[in-house]
Amino acid sequence: MCAQMYYRGKMFGFVHLYNGQEAVSTGFIKLLKQEDCVVSTYCDHVHALTEGVPARQVMSELFGKTTGCCRGKGGSMHMFSKEHNVLGGFAFIGEGIPVATGAAFTSKYKREVLKEDCDEVTLAFFGDGTCNNGQFFECLNMAALWKLPIVFVVENNLWAIGMSHLRSTSDPQIWKKGPAFGMPGVHVDGMDVLKVMEVAQEAIGRARRGKGPTLVECETYRFRGHSLADPDELRDPAEKAHYATRDPITALKKYLFENNLASEAELKAIDKKIDEIIEDSVEFAYESPVPARNQLLENVFADPRGFGIGPMVSTDVRILNLRKELLRCSLKV
């Protein structure tokens, strides 16, 4: 549905589908408690949904409407929900990792100074290509040094847009970089939700017990191009066909049938319910208003009229002048 709406011009900028990688988000996030935090990338609409942000709010945000979880100011790639502790999608790769490390530091600080029974955990999701960026190494170091309650979840889909993982990294086994910093590194089949859950349980449990971070490499694959604007001409059709046979949703369905855990009718009923939720979210997004023109600068700077952002210091003349200047420019445009 996201693809349909994007091609109809209802969503702006880029939208990145998550098809093929669902087992990673579900396998990890479904184990979290209310207070735990999630930091994501540009596939954040899925991580937000998994974390419980209502589909209506997510779809509206993708449409850039005021009823979205960021009042339509974030759009695709910038989902945020204070209520659900979704601390953002980050379009600049690697930028979310220090934010997640900071959130984990906050939890550690709370535990040591304010609230002894605080056992919050933060999950940082990012891709294989991102593991070649500096923030990854810096944050692994800090997290291990301070035994932070964080799990670094690498969604290794073997590609960074059109760059093959094997061509761009000195050692393609990402999990090995964990032990280099003194934390466990684990590799898991990221297309098997039950295997992901098993590994996630161990890593999250470890973080909750104050035993520090874990690096988990989930080997997965995306079924579509990098974004909906990507013609996806660089990946070998044979490779795509190979991974298509391992669709995590089809695999789980097969497992449920083989183990008599669900009937065809039960799964059909779930499918129907999902279709209804999606239809409802699209209708809601269509009907919702776009942000008013006078909200253009809201939440851009610290603004007491904004939401969740601290009060502006009225004596800060520089910010006031900058705001005025921006307002003048926007009116000219």
Ligand X SMILES: Cc1ncc(C[n+]2csc(CCOP(=O)(O)OP(=O)(O)O)c2C)c(N)n1
List residues binding ligand X (CB under 6 A).
91-94, 126-130, 155, 157, 159-161, 226
**Of the candidates 255, 231, 185, 224, which has an alpha carbon nearest to the alpha carbon of residue 21?**
224
**Of the candidates 153, 154, 161, which has an alpha carbon nearest to the alpha carbon of residue 128?**
154
- Contact partner, 192, from ligand X, Mg ion, none, Cβ < 5-8 Å per class: none
Question: Which residue, 122 or 157, is less far from ligand X as judged by CB?
Answer: 157
Are 2 and 45 within 8 A, CB to CB?
yes
- 3-class secondary-structure state, position 243: helix
Region of 15 on the Ramachandran plot (φ > 0 left; ψ -120 to 50 alpha; else beta): beta
Shortest Å, Cβ 333 to ligand X: 26
Question: Which residue, 72 or 127, is less far from ligand X as judged by CB?
Answer: 127
- Give me the residue whose beta carbon is nearest to Mg ion: 127
Shortest Å, Cβ 288 to ligand X: 28
Residue 278: other Cβ atoms inside 10 A: 14
Secondary element (H or E) of residue 104: helix 96-109
> What sign has the CA pseudo-torsion 91, 93, 97, 99?
negative
Question: Which residue, 15 or 285, is less far from ligand X as judged by CB?
Answer: 15
- 3-class secondary-structure state, position 272: helix
Can you tell me the distance from the alpha carbon of 76 to that of 168, in angstroms, rounded to the nearest whole number?
27
Can you tell me the distance from the alpha carbon of 65 to that of 68, in angstroms, rounded to the nearest whole number?
6
- Contact partner, 72, from Mg ion, ligand X, none, Cβ < 5-8 Å per class: none
Question: Which residue, 107 or 220, is less far from Mg ion as judged by CB?
Answer: 220
Shortest Å, Cβ 132 to ligand X: 8
Question: Which residue, 117 or 233, is less far from ligand X as judged by CB?
Answer: 233
- Contact partner, 307, from ligand X, Mg ion, none, Cβ < 5-8 Å per class: none
**Of the candidates 173, 169, 188, which has an alpha carbon nearest to the alpha carbon of residue 23?**
188
- Contact partner, 161, from ligand X, Mg ion, none, Cβ < 5-8 Å per class: ligand X
Shortest Å, Cβ 8 to ligand X: 24
Q: Which residues bind Mg ion (CB under 5 A)?
A: 127-128, 157, 160
Question: Which residue, 50 or 157, is less far from ligand X as judged by CB?
Answer: 157
- Contact partner, 130, from Mg ion, ligand X, none, Cβ < 5-8 Å per class: ligand X
Shortest Å, Cβ 154 to ligand X: 8
Shortest Å, Cβ 222 to ligand X: 7
